[in-house]
Structure formats: structure tokens, C-alpha cells
Amino acid sequence: MPKPTLSIEFLGAAAEDYLPHLAVDCVVFGFHAGQLRILLTHWHARQRWSLPGGFVRRDESVDSAAHRVLQLRTRLDHVYLQQYHTFGGLDRRDEEIEHMLDHEDGRQAARAWINDRFVSVGYYALVDWTEVTPTPDGVLTDECRWWDLATCPPLLFDHDAMVARALATLRSQLGHSPIGLNLFSETFTLPELQRLYEAILGRPLDRRNFQKRMRELGILERVGELRGAGVRRAPYLYRFDRPRYEQALREGILLRR
């Protein structure tokens, strides 16, 4: 990995190859130990964290840019990724970042480019965190890792608001789309799935009603029984029935409350 430096080469290329003023940022949700987590990147110049983001190449769609950014930070292809809002306020700067380039070797034009006002298209992704290889860009950011949503630090720019809105969108989707295929490895148990729903909704659900509704959706296949390590009865393992899951995704489902 190259030493993290904001080089002439980097920003010069940026100004040529990318659309100015336009960014994409991704709220990458994972799920582990009953907690929602998000992937954050660390800006060495500011010693603070932000969402993984990037710019839009002149020859790619905004959706493609989001997928590319996500691939770069996670090494994952074919991720479930949804555009949810575009953030275009005038308050989207960070003064420290505007000055940090004074210490770097960038040319004026390059500095101007990165310090320009940006409008950012927000995406959220749902991923199986075990498949992710968190990868900083090595230029602006020197670290990339998971944070529990509940304990993550205040983020740069307006990224706290972007996370909040992504979560709200996810929550409102929950009653209309199946969820989980992208967040779990191949198999999972119903208690795990329930904990995912509870983490997203922020409230407990009734186990019996939850299991009944999930079974009735007809998108689950029971696989076998989990031999748990714990002092308790082992729950069944499930996997999603892909064709049915994707059909439910297309046609929508109806889970009330």
C-alpha cells in the first residue's frame, strides 16, 4: 500500500477523470453479534472517520460509481446497493479539510478541485461482513474498519445525518422488502434473523409472531439443526430460497407493523 499522501498525481487525475462537485457515499451495513455495524474510513489528515465515498468518473453512471467505490473498500462485487437520498446542502464542508492541503504538495488546481463544494449521492449497502476485506484508499484515508452503529464516533462532514437517514430508509423498507440474504452467510437461524430485524427497528419483536410471519413468506428453507455451543437447545438452520427471495424483492411483501 502506498504511503498515504495527497499527491499531485492523485488530484490531477481526479480533476481530469471525474465529475467535479459530485460524490457518492456509501453506508455499508453489516450485522454481527446482534448489532448493526457500518464500515468507516479514517482520514489521517483529520484523525477522524467518515463514510466510504468517492467520485464519479466521467464515463460511468452514478450507480456504477457507487458499486466501484464499494468494491474498492470491501473487495466485494455484486453488492446489494440502494440509492436513498442526495445531499446537496451548503453546509457540507469541513474547514480543517479545506486547509489540510496547505501542507501537501498539490498544485493550486488540484487543491481547488478537492476543496470544491460537493453534492453527494447517498447509497446504502447490505453485506455479509465476513466476506468484506476492509481496504483504505491509502491516499486520503489510512484505515478502514467496522464500527458498531451504537458506538461509532461523530463523523466528518454531514455523514452522521447520512447514516441516520440511511437507517430510517432501511427501517421503512423493512415492511415491504425481504431482508437478510445479503447480510448473512449462506445459513442463519431464525433467532439471528429476528435479532437483525430488532436491530434495524430498534425494538424487540415477539418470537412466535416473528417466526410465523417469516415462515409464511415462503422464502425460507430449513437446512438442518445447529449444534450450538451454548447451554441451550440448538436452533434450526435456514437458508433463503433464492428464486423466491428475489421474487419477493421484486414484487414486494407486506409485513405490517
Residues at the contact surface with DNA, assessed by CB under 7 A: 189-191, 206-209, 211-213, 215, 227-228, 230-236, 254-257
Smallest gap from residue 119 Cβ to a copy of itself (A) = 6
Cβ-based neighbours of 148, under 8 Å, separated by 6 or more: 35, 36, 37
Q: Among DNA, a copy of itself, none, what does residue 206 contact (CB within 5–8 Å per kind)? A: DNA
Q: Among a copy of itself, DNA, none, what does residue 211 contact (CB within 5–8 Å per kind)? A: DNA
**Residue 220 phi, psi (nearest 5):** -110, 145
Q: Is 22 in the site for a copy of itself (CB under 8 A)?
A: yes
Smallest gap from residue 182 Cβ to a copy of itself (A) = 21
Q: Among a copy of itself, DNA, none, what does residue 59 contact (CB within 5–8 Å per kind)? A: a copy of itself
Cβ-based neighbours of 72, under 8 Å, separated by 6 or more: 54, 135, 137
Cβ-based neighbours of 100, under 8 Å, separated by 6 or more: 6, 45, 46
Nearer CB in complex with DNA: 250/256:
256
- 177-196 in b/e form (b: 16+ CB < 10 A) is bbbbbbbbeebbbbebbbbb
Write out the residues near a copy of itself by the rule CB under 8 A: 19-22, 56, 58-63, 65, 83, 85-86, 88-90, 117, 119, 121, 256
